Amino acid sequence: MRIIVQRSKESSVSVNNKLINKIDHGLVLLVGFTQNDTEKDLDYLVNKVINLRIFDDENHIMNKSILDTQGEILSISQFTLYADTKKGHRPSYIKALNGHEAIKLYELFNQKLNKYVKTYPGIFGADMQVNIHNDGPVTIILDSPNC
């Protein structure tokens, strides 16, 4: 499992020019799954995301988590995080988990996050337009131990 975490001032996701979800302050998560990902991977990364200290404290030092700042999460499924570009110029997505299995993990991941932080999903498998106002910019890559 792989997540690109971006600290955000405001972000949104739309499908067919229709706003699906938005956040004002928090994290945007681009989430991808691969073979052999399990619920343990979800739990590991939920813990990492909610406790990741990438928000400024009163001294402008990244020392606060999303829990401390009471922000929100915009979670976007993104199988392209497992693109393999070693051969040729067209990415291979063979390492990405199939959609039937990935949607189950994505929905469970969002449910687990939502226990701690208000989490808004995109639409799994849709052609989404994601507007990210990256704050900082702060971008962190997280991988589960399986990777």
Q: Which residues are designated catalytic?
A: 78-80
Give which of 75, 63, 64 is closest to 27, Cα–Cα.
Answer: 75
- Give the max Cα distance, the chain: 48
The 3-state DSSP class for residue 50 equals helix
